[in-house]
A = this chain, B = another copy of it.
Amino acid sequence: MIEDKNQNRTSLNEIGEFKLIELLTRNFKIKHKSTIKGIGDDAAVIDPDQKQIVITTDLLVEGVHFDLSYVPLKHLGYKSVIVNLSDVYAMNAEATQITISIAVSNRFPLEALEELYAGVETAAKIYNVDVVGGDTTSSNSGLLISITAIGVINKGEEIYRNGAKPNDLLVVTGDLGGAYMGLQILEREKEVFKVNPNNQPDLDGYTYIIERQLKPEARKDIIKLLKDLGVKPTAMIDISDGLSSEILHLCMHSKVGCDIYENKIPLDPQVISTCEEFKIDSTTIALNGGEDYELLMTISQEDFPKIKANPNLTIIGHITEENAGANLITRAETKIPLQAQGWKNFNNSN
């Protein structure tokens, strides 16, 4: 698809690495005063101004994490940034800088990479982070994106996975399962397209969940909201691999158990209707779907008045003693152990 769409194609062979980096990064502007030196030296220099820094990194691999037959490169660039910023916010930090590295085969023309970097630039602009470095090289097959995100936080304000205490409330932001169901729609349309390339996809009625998959957002707003509410969660983690997997991480690190209530899990109506259409259980999707990039946190009971009725925060259960285990209380009021079935990347590839 990439090859066909571009009228203007500039082969990477003609350019060379240094020129390529220059072309791809020319639009990046430095906005943070903490960025002392961005792209263009052996390393970037950052002055965190007496704050601590947080740092996180993620790889996105073609054929494993994304399929370019339905993911526009601009969206991919945007999402690659979001995935990393989400981890910074999950520490309660302010994201300030990123680096972006790509390994890319020569089947991609310059114009395709410019699309990708336009998406990176858009995300950097919206989330107010500076692009301060990276690497650009060739690969023997496909596209790989490696992003590292840096943030700053005052000492003592960071929130780990290990601070949850019995009786704390389990809280999630937004709604869950949308990104996964969006992916199911895109995969279905891809199969339809294979059979009949002239068939125009009808995506009305799926716009929300497709956007959740193709253009997710990181919950920067929640970090501000928590500050405004005067609430510091006792533990926090971002939901990238599915609610179930993240709850189990949080319980393991905090050495606690939990009860979560099936009927409290926030679902968008489009997720419910699409699950019905696909004849799959929406709770299973919310628990195991992944890629929602919402935040899961535990909040002390005494902060309940501050968060109750806030439309951004849904209480889905509470923390228990470790020996009680991590459980789902179903709509039928039976208690079943939570199991992690998050992304098992190594099972899907060769």
Contact = CB atoms under 8 A, between A and B. Distances in A.
A101 B57 contact: yes
Q: How many copies make up the complex?
A: 2
Given A61-B140, A87-B43, A55 B347 contact: no
A46 B52 contact: yes
B45 A52 contact: yes
Interface in A89-118: 90-91, 93, 97, 99, 101-103, 105-106
A43 B52 contact: no
A155 B132 CA distance: 18
A219 to B, nearest CB: 12
A186 interface: no
A64 B105 CA distance: 11
B17 A135 contact: no
Given A13-B347, A55-B99, A140 B42 contact: no
Interface string A72-99: 0000000000000001101101000101
Contacts of A106: 346, 349-350
Interface in A6-21: 12-13, 15-17, 20
Cβ-closest 7 pairs across A and B: A43-B56, A42-B90, A146-B146, A138-B349, A43-B54, A42-B87, A63-B140
